[in-house]
Structure 1
Amino acid sequence: MDKQRLTEGQMRLGANTLRMLAVDAVEKANSGHPGLPMGAADYAFTLWHNHLRFNCEKPDWPNRDRFILSAGHGSMLLYGLLHLFGFDLPMDELKNFRQWGSRTPGHPEHGAPGVEVTTGPLGQGFANGVGMALAAKMAAARFNDDTFSPIDHRIYAIVSDGDLMEGISSEAASLAGHLKLGNIVYIYDDNGITIEGKTELAFSENVGKKFTALGWHVQRIDGHDFDQIEAALGAARSEKEFPSLIIARTHIAHGSPNKADSAAAHGSPLGAEEALATRQALGWPKETFHVPAEVRALCRRRTEELKGEYAAWQKGFQQWQRRNPEKAALWEEMWQRRVPVELDEKLLKASAGADGATRSLSGRVIQQAAALVPALVGGSADLEPSNNTGIKGAGSIAAGSFAGRNIHFGIREHAMAAMMNGMALYGCFIPFGGTFLAFSDYCRPSIRLAALMGLQVVYVFTHDSILLGEDGPTHQPVEQISALRLIPNLTVFRPADGTETAMAWNAALAKKSGPTALILTRQKVPTLLRQDAFDPKAVLRGAYVVETADTPLVTIMASGSEVSLAMAAGNLLAKQGVGARIVSIPCLETFLAQSASYRQSVLGGRSVRVAVEAGHGALWWRLLGRNGLFIGVEAFGASAPDRVLAEKYGLTPESVAERIVKHLKRKPAPPSISPME
């Protein structure tokens, strides 16, 4: 807590500074959301000045409190706070709000000092914070002792009506209450206004009773009353067992004489006339981007106090390291997310040469990876027996018991994916989570944000095609693989056997700059018989030649379970005098990123190209060219055994070979330059 409590006048001066910085930045940009920063300024300044623990010069300090602006449209509130409290965000950046190349984009983006997470899609920040809180509990269980606690901080967030309307927040709140994550303190900015008007147009639930039922500690306050704000934050800090929600009733655009409590202030500038009227109402100078010297001094004094707390923690941490050399070594290994140099060789020993469904082979690899990479933790959306995501002997996470490595997310794919992002953002852990591929659609918004933020997250998506069988078209993915491949910076691996599965996991554990999706079969696949010169590292380049005729007329490309299908079709073609080159492409986008010379060496010269995949064609056409052939599934599946589905959808060796022969006999299209050559 603050060592010298400020007067109400000082607190209001700080809050009004935040208000007017938001007004001025939005006016200058002629774009933005002034309403939320103006309404939230009182409790936001109180939180940052009196309670939040950070070091502006060491923004990545592991034991800092995390602050999330889940209502990311109010980004100028965060930028104003970061500027006032000494982070590397000078005034020129506030003046360049929403402009090209500035560090003050329209919604907060992870990577700038003090910005913990990219927010904007509502509900994401709420769920990210739950993931951070879980990661903090798990880290504390590993490292804290009776003498010193390297991890004892909290996760704070400001959430809005929109955040709470999104279903992802309810999923995450349910799990937070179930796990009793008492290190969460969220402030709900209850201003009663959305873009379309009053929230009562579509939102009338009793938020307090709902969160109480979910196992949260709930308080209600006037969000403009500094005594109530301080008391509520103090009570939330004292609450150790339950996550806290402070429902702060506020006025959007508080301080604006004519636009307070109106939807007009939600997503548009106040306008020059109303901005001037607001200045006059608050007794504020006409000078834009004005920061009173007293506010500068108050914030500077607070940051110096916090640096003292950081120094005390560092001293305690160094003593803890000397007392606990093994834990200190583990700390370094986990926070650096280190993987052993020989990881690929050891993972290959777990699954290479073994037949089975790639989901089962992945489960074997997970056991070996977990033994080698202590940062690896994860779970499933109540599908562990099907996803094979359990780490054997590692224990399960439960309320009051956070030393395990297996997380039971429940049937909450939305929250699972966003919480994984929060865990990755927190540091210390490499999170993975599993569900059926068809349900990756529930995860997709969080996957996109993980790719945008460059987070090391691993998705284990099983039951990867219509060949999963009898569960039918609701569970049989068709377009999902192609849809995932379209997300920039997401690496999508669809391995064909145990060797490729091991190398796909190796790639996921090595890639620290973005997420990886592993696409795995339900049905068994055989071990591929490869050329003698095969090097497993070729898998990491996205594609390689499995086998080839001396003078191939056709190059058959495939992924996953269809590689063995392509090989069988190639054998049938050989009996008809048609030589084939079989190419496995476990990661299409990685292969597309290789040099033209490597692509040419894999795909060959003038042979006709065919791609086989039990799904939608999409990116395959970048390799096929105008004379190519795609054999896949571009309609929904059906409920039947996998053998019947393969026959009905033309995914048998005989059907594939027949289609290729017919294609070779047709008149070719006029010559054209392949987009990949």
Structure 2
Amino acid sequence: MSSFTPAQSDDVSVATIRALAADVVTKANSGHPGAPMGMAPVAHVLYSRFMNINPKNSKWFNRDRFVLSNGHACALQYVLLHLLGYKLSMDDLKAFRQLDSLTPGHPEAGHTDGIEVTTGPLGQGFGNGVGLAIAQAHLGAVFNKPGFELINNFTYVFSGDGCLMEGVASEAASLAGHLQLGNLIVIYDDNHISIDGDTAVAFTENVGQRFLSYGWQVLHVDNGDSDFRAIYNAIAEAKLEKSKPTLICLKTTIGFGSKQQGTHGVHGSPLKADDIQALKTKFGLPADKSFFVPPATYDAYADIGKRGASLEAQWNSLLGEYGQKYPKEHGELTRRISGELPTNWEQCLPVYKSTDAAQASRKLSEIVLTALAPVLPELLGGSADLTGSNLTKVKGSVDFQPPSTGLGNYAGTYIRYGVREHGMGAIANGIHAYGGIIPYVATFLNFVSYAAGAVRLSALSGHQVIWVATHDSIGLGEDGPTHQPIETAIHFRSTPNLAFWRPADGNETSAAYLVALKSKKTPSILSLSRQNLPNLEASSIEKAAKGGYVVHEVESEDLTIVSAGSEVSIALEAAAKLNAEGVKTRVVSLPCWLVFDKQPEEYRLSVLRSGAPILSLEALSTAGWSKYSHEQYGLPAWGASGPYQKVYEKFGITGSNIAVVGKKVVDFYKQKGGPVVSPLVKAFTL
């Protein structure tokens, strides 16, 4: 292990970071100065001695990844990005937390150069860090060759007390320990302060002992305020441990150097003007200057950038040599880094005829995954301890496991997440953020709600995570209301940039995967049935890929029934009865609202057209269906336990009853009189 060599610029650089963080928050009159001031020394040591990055190319593939899980401390990260020479100017620092600035209130990936993942909700970044580490371990195992360590970066995570209180971090940490992720180093800002005050009021566990029990290496730094050598030694020691992730418990003083240091008063409030002046004087900076950076600090951080540029140049040279010796692997690696899918991969998607056997859409999903696996090696899947129910493991696939366990290897493409839905979601976001991998994860639809925080950040950040969410309605039957997701669909349908698919048959299931895999910046939830569904006569991948289409057409209709998933076949049964009685009835399948809403207005109005009432049908809450229908039929409240056919009968979701309901709708609108205008016709749409 190399030893720490002090630099003349160390003290002034740390002082600069502290003062800039205070200035940034004070100018905005909003933010959190305490943690940035307390973590300035570890941030400086990490970046000046360890981080392999190139600020001139923030997407260099083998860069070290940095995650600020305690995202409220983002003033620290913005200051570092500016000093390092990323695309963040001093004016951007001065615009902290202002409208449309590059320095929003919490870090946002894709918005600010150099930000790897969107953080803020505590614990999410911790989970992202585990995902980033998994991705590196997997891609390294797949592509590295003797003499060609192309993918060997580390992931560093800054985390606070709040992150470690959140359950999502515990779930992710537990799995990281099992997976022996030696490339993951978490630095815990142990300052004993949260919003409510001293952590003694609620958080008195022995964090180090907890992480030891997870299988982590735990190191301690008693003076994170000024002992640069101890900080350096801890990080260097962490990098030497190859079979365990490392937690560095770093004792710091929140708001170090200010009059309120060590108190919760400096956690989330700007410093007073006299406090900032005294702080700068104490650290040898001009008290009368705001946003001041000494030349020595800029020079020191420019050197970090030069080092990174040199490292990337060396890596590019190595990649070229790799291409000469391993052209096939080189082509595959560069394709995956670019995010492009193989040519004609869509041709492997299964296509169905109405005469094909009825199957549960969870089984149809398994058939798609089996077809995709040979042509899309970037798929890295897993399930939250429901593999046999979700049907997500492709036959013959190898588990992603530490080789020492004998259960698989890091080149494996199937992750056993255990019963950790929230951690799984946050980890999947990190896997996608790394690049070169499309993650899919699985559980029952009802339990995607456990991961709602991570799903929301998938949508906000544009992470292409695919959720295989089976057992999606009262159709799961005997498990009853505790497992039947009545309200879940509308929750996720209402989430911006989240494609919630509820396919009705085999072609619609293939279409859901088609669109999900082409949507590089949109997560998808595939809501899949436990019960068998017949293949529809008029369905096709092409039609379903529009999010909605006419599955049974008649002219001059009296009624249109619009439905999704397992209820489309019931709607068709009802339509057949109504048509036999002389009530001309169309049926529309609407497997994905988000995708349908993106179609041209002319097309949408041809599917859900004016002229006759539209009745929606779904074995879930009716909330949201008024956007597409005049009348809604679904679940009034919770489901029930029993054989699924009996449960459907109990709630009147049968062809016979929906025919009766449909006749009532037709009679009502005829008696009401006047034109019936499509619910899609609006004065404006957002």
TM-score bucket (shorter structure): over 0.9
Q: CA deviation at 1:493?
A: 1.0
CA distance in 2, matches of 1:311, 1:522: 52
Q: CA deviation at 1:528?
A: 0.7
Aligned to 1:563: 568
Aligned to 2:283: 282
* Contact map agreement 1:344 1:502 (CA 8 A) in 2: no
SS of equivalent to 2:455: helix
Q: CA deviation at 1:669?
A: 8.3
Deviation per residue, 1:385-405 (Å, 9 max, x gap): 111110221200111320111
Q: CA deviation at 1:100?
A: 1.3
CA distance in 2, matches of 1:393, 1:152: 27
Aligned to 1:175: 175
Instruction: Spell out the pairing of 1:388-407 with structure 2 (5 A cutoff).
Output: 388-400=391-403, 401-407=409-415
Q: CA deviation at 1:594?
A: 2.2
Q: CA deviation at 1:374?
A: 1.3
SS of equivalent to 2:545: helix
CA distance in 1, matches of 2:460, 2:503: 25
Equivalent of 2:645 in 643, 646, 658: 643
SS of equivalent to 2:515: helix
Deviation per residue, 1:137-195 (Å, 9 max, x gap): 00000111111100111000100000000001110000000010000111000000011
The amino acid of 2:37's aligned partner reads M
Instruction: Spell out the pairing of 1:114-129 with structure 2 (5 A cutoff).
Output: 114-129=114-129
* Contact map agreement 1:350 1:368 (CA 8 A) in 2: no
Aligned to 1:417: 425
Deviation per residue, 1:552-594 (Å, 9 max, x gap): 1000101011110000000111122101001111112222232
Aligned to 2:532: 524
Q: CA deviation at 1:120?
A: 0.3
CA distance in 2, matches of 1:422, 1:108: 14
- RMSD between aligned residues: 1.7
Q: CA deviation at 1:350?
A: 7.9
CA distance in 1, matches of 2:23, 2:519: 41
CA distance in 2, matches of 1:311, 1:541: 44
Aligned to 2:312: 310
Which 10-residue stretch deviates more, 565-574 or 545-554?
A: 545-554
The amino acid of 1:180's aligned partner reads Q
Equivalent of 2:384 in 363, 381, 386: 381
1:634/1:589 CA distance change after superposition, 3 Å? farther
Q: CA deviation at 1:453?
A: 0.8
Which 10-residue stretch deviates more, 545-554 or 420-429?
A: 545-554
Aligned to 2:542: 537
Equivalent of 2:621 in 616, 622, 644: 616
Which 10-residue stretch deviates more, 371-380 or 519-528?
A: 371-380
Instruction: Spell out the pairing of 1:431-510 with structure 2 (5 A cutoff).
Output: 431-510=439-518
* Contact map agreement 1:343 1:506 (CA 8 A) in 2: no
Instruction: Spell out the pairing of 1:124-135 with structure 2 (5 A cutoff).
Output: 124-135=124-135
Aligned to 1:270: 271
CA distance in 2, matches of 1:434, 1:306: 38
Which 10-residue stretch deviates more, 126-135 or 393-402?
A: 393-402
The amino acid of 1:564's aligned partner reads S
Q: CA deviation at 1:651?
A: 0.5
Count how many residue pairs are aligned between Structure 1 and Structure 2: 669
The amino acid of 2:186's aligned partner reads Y
* Contact map agreement 2:390 2:442 (CA 8 A) in 1: yes
CA distance in 2, matches of 1:669, 1:82: 65
Matched, 1:321 2:323: yes
CA distance in 2, matches of 1:170, 1:477: 26
Q: CA deviation at 1:116?
A: 0.5
Deviation per residue, 1:213-242 (Å, 9 max, x gap): 111111110212111111111101111111
Q: CA deviation at 1:341?
A: 4.6
How high is the sequence identity, in percent, across the aligned residues?
A: 42
Aligned to 2:61: 62
CA distance in 1, matches of 2:562, 2:135: 41
TM-score where L is the length of structure 2: 0.95
* Contact map agreement 1:36 1:74 (CA 8 A) in 2: yes
* Contact map agreement 1:479 1:634 (CA 8 A) in 2: no
Aligned to 1:235: 237
Equivalent of 1:372 in 370, 375, 389: 375
* Contact map agreement 2:16 2:292 (CA 8 A) in 1: yes
* Contact map agreement 1:545 1:582 (CA 8 A) in 2: yes
1:424/1:354 CA distance change after superposition, 3 Å? farther
The amino acid of 1:168's aligned partner reads V
Q: CA deviation at 1:671?
A: 6.4
* Contact map agreement 1:2 1:50 (CA 8 A) in 2: no
Aligned to 2:98: 99
Deviation per residue, 1:588-635 (Å, 9 max, x gap): 2222232221112112330110010111122210122xxx21111131
CA distance in 1, matches of 2:485, 2:4: 60
SS of equivalent to 2:479: coil
Aligned to 1:590: 595
* Contact map agreement 1:24 1:288 (CA 8 A) in 2: yes
SS of equivalent to 1:104: coil
